[in-house]
């Protein structure tokens, strides 16, 4: 195997997206397009990956991070010009260079690997990955000679009516003999409809030099879809979504209705978990085995244990244990840690709280900035009063505490182990362990008061 390199083209603005967000950062199933490409390439044995950045350079670099090296294409003069920016890093190396566009998020590592292998087996100077498109409009067309050999690639905007009928398209993915690539790029001009230096022109240049030029046709056009506008973005989303959902189903996850189930590219789910319709799982979310999620739940950046049930609820940036029961209609806000066997019921909001094993808040509560021990019962309607208008304060509830319904715990405050808080209390001072705290007006009954009112006489 020759040494392998890769270049990702990600400097374009993406004018056709009509967006403030740089094209390659538009997410597909929650992950930027270019990140999909980087993640697939990273699965191969590649010596060096170079990303060409330009528009939104800093943002793109920040997203991808240390996974690749970067070169700047200050002015976007075309895909050939973009590759040329990697000259200082790669032009002297011998080996094979894969070039992939940052706007083809569906391309798979196995296809790139097959392309590399085909290229090396043929001893080619360039191998272009092609596909048959039902609607080739907008793509470069593969022009073959009578013997069926690739002659050149012609861009849609430069093509003749006859060439427009060609359905075999350039996917924008290629393997090059590295030195032949940089040598040929010197001869690419910008005399074309768009006044750009086209990378595909390298094919004709190498062909004319008598070098071996081949094509590798993939059977699956959908994998090579180039996203230039929001219509294609939605198409890519559909294809990726189907791919992700099928992967989970093959791994033993039940998706009751895959069409209405949205799972981000980096989500992990254990076997025998059931996902009900209307569920959106995103970010760095991990869900264990035997869970039931949904219907209609949104979970982002959460780590969830086994056999947990979450119905009609929202959870973000939190850790949720095993055998936990959440919902319906609960909201777990960031930085919460819900331990095993907890119950968080209807209309309960938890924020930045540690909620101990076996504890319950079954109805209508707000628990924010709190440390709740084990086996605590938070009665219906009880809340932590965590905010004085300027600052947030901590409420500590120790193990085995019983908070009666409709209590206000005015933070900072601590309820000692095993204590009881009487229903309707507004607690402003610490409660010692095992004590009963009553903090409400004593009830007075005025006998016959109503009967004696003027209006009732
Ligand atoms: C390109 C190909 C076309 C192919 C199609 C596949 C060229 C000239 N045409 O067309 O044959 O069928 O991809 O999807 O290569 N970029 C830069 N710098 C530039 C210009 C572009 O980095 O100066 C990057 C873009 O960010 C993008 C990629 O290169 O990720 C492709 O550019 P784009 O303008 O989308 O090319 P297409 O018109 O789609
Ligand atoms: Ca494109």
Q: Whose CA is nearest to atom 28 of ligand 1?
A: 101
Q: Is the CB of 223 under 6 A from ligand 1?
A: no
Angle between helices 33-41 and 57-64 (to 10 degrees): 50
Atom of ligand 1 nearest to the CA of 153: 11
Q: Is the CB of 9 under 6 A from ligand 1?
A: yes
- Tokens 């939104």 belong to 56
- State the alpha helices, DSSP H only, in 198-277: 201-208, 230-250
Map out the domains of the chain as residue ranges: 4-224, 313-437
What is d(CA 178, CA 183) in angstroms, rounded to the nearest whole number?
Answer: 9
Cα-to-centroid distance, 161 and ligand 1 (Å): 22
Q: Is the CB of 288 under 6 A from ligand 1?
A: no
Q: Which residues are catalytic?
A: 363
Residues measured by CB to lie within 5 Å of ligand 2, the ion: 103, 226, 228
What is d(CA 439, CA 326) in angstroms, rounded to the nearest whole number?
Answer: 30
DSSP three-state, residue 51:
strand
Same fold, 4-224 and 313-437: no
DSSP three-state, residue 21:
coil
Kind and range of the H or E run holding 49: strand 48-53
DSSP three-state, residue 400:
coil
What is d(CA 180, CA 258) in angstroms, rounded to the nearest whole number?
Answer: 47
Architecture of the domain made up of 313-437: 3 Solenoid (2.160)
Give yes or no for a contact between 23 and 103, defined as CB atoms under 8 angstroms apart: yes
Provide DSSP, 342-379. -EEEET-EEEEEEE-TT-EEEES-EEEEEEE-TT-EE-
Q: Whose CA is nearest to atom 29 of ligand 1?
A: 9
Does this model's pTM top 0.75? Answer: yes
What is d(CA 7, CA 174) in angstroms, rounded to the nearest whole number?
Answer: 10
Identify which of 406, 415, 345 has the alpha carbon closest to the alpha carbon of residue 379.
406
Q: What is the pLDDT along the chain (457 residues), one digit of tens a residue?
A: 899 999 999 999 899 999 999 999 999 999 999 999 999 999 999 999 999 999 999 999 999 999 999 999 999 999 999 999 999 999 999 999 999 999 999 999 999 999 999 999 999 999 999 999 999 999 999 999 999 999 999 999 999 999 999 999 999 999 999 999 999 999 999 999 999 999 999 999 999 999 999 999 999 999 999 999 999 999 999 999 999 999 999 999 999 999 999 999 999 999 999 999 999 999 999 999 999 999 999 999 999 999 999 999 999 999 999 999 999 999 999 999 999 999 999 999 999 999 999 999 999 999 999 999 999 999 999 999 999 999 999 999 999 999 999 999 999 999 999 999 999 999 999 999 999 999 999 999 999 999 999 888 7
DSSP three-state, residue 232:
helix
Cα-to-centroid distance, 22 and ligand 1 (Å): 14
Tokens at 229, concatenated = 């506008």
Instruction: Choose the residue to mutate in 172, 215, 227, 231 for probing ligand 1, maximizing ligand atoms within 8 Å of C-beta.
Output: 172
Q: Is the CB of 170 under 6 A from ligand 1?
A: yes
Class of domain 4-224: alpha beta
């Amino acid at each position: 195997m020759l040494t392998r390199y890769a270049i990702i083209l990600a400097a374009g603005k993406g004018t056709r997206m009509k967006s403030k967000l740089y094209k390659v950062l538009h997410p597909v199933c929650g992950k930027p397009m270019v990140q999909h490409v980087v993640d697939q390439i990273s699965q191969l044995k590649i010596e060096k990956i170079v990303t060409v950045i330009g528009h939104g350079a800093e943002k793109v670099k920040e997203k991808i991070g240390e996974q690749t090296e970067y070169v700047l294409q200050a002015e976007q003069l075309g895909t050939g010009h973009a590759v040329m920016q990697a000259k200082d890093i790669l032009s002297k190396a011998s080996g094979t260079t894969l070039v992939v566009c940052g706007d083809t998020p569906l391309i798979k590592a196995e296809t790139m690997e097959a392309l590399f292998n085909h290229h090396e087996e043929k001893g080619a100077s360039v191998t272009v990955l092609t596909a048959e498109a039902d609607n080739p409009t907008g793509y470069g067309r593969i022009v073959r000679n009578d013997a069926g050999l690739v002659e050149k690639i012609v861009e849609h905007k430069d093509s003749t009516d006859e060439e427009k009928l060609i359905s075999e398209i350039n996917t924008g993915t290629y393997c090059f003999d590295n030195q032949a690539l940089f040598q040929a790029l010197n001869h690419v001009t910008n005399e074309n409809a768009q006044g750009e230096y086209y990378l595909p022109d390298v094919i004709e240049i190498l062909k004319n030099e008598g070098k071996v030029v081949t094509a590798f046709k993939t059977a699956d056009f959908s994998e090579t879809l180039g996203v230039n506008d929001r219509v294609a973005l939605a198409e890519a989303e559909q294809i990726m979504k189907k791919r992700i959902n099928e992967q989970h189903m093959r791994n033993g996850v039940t998706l009751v209705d895959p069409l209405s189930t949205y799972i981000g590219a980096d989500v992990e789910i254990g076997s025998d978990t059931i996902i009900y319709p209307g569920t959106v799982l995103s970010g760095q979310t991990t869900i264990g085995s035997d869970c039931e999620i949904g219907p209609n739940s949104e979970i982002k950046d959460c780590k969830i244990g086994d056999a947990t049930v979450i119905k009609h609820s929202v959870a973000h940036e939190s850790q949720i244990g095993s055998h936990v029961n959440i919902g319906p209609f609960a909201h777990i806000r960031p930085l919460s840690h819900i331990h095993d066997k907890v119950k968080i019921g209807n209309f309960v909001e938890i924020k930045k709280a540690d909620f101990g094993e076996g504890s319950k808040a079954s109805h209508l509560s707000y628990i924010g900035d709190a440390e709740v021990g084990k086996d605590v019962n938070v009665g219906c309607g009880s809340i932590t009063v965590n905010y004085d208008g300027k600052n947030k304060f901590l409420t500590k509830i120790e193990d085995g505490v019983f908070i009666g319904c409709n209590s206000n715990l005015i933070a900072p405050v601590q309820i000692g182990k095993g204590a009881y808080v009487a229903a309707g209390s507004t607690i402003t001072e610490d409660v010692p362990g095992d004590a009963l705290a009553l903090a409400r007006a004593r009830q007075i009954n005025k006998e016959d008061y109503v009967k004696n009112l003027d209006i009732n006489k």
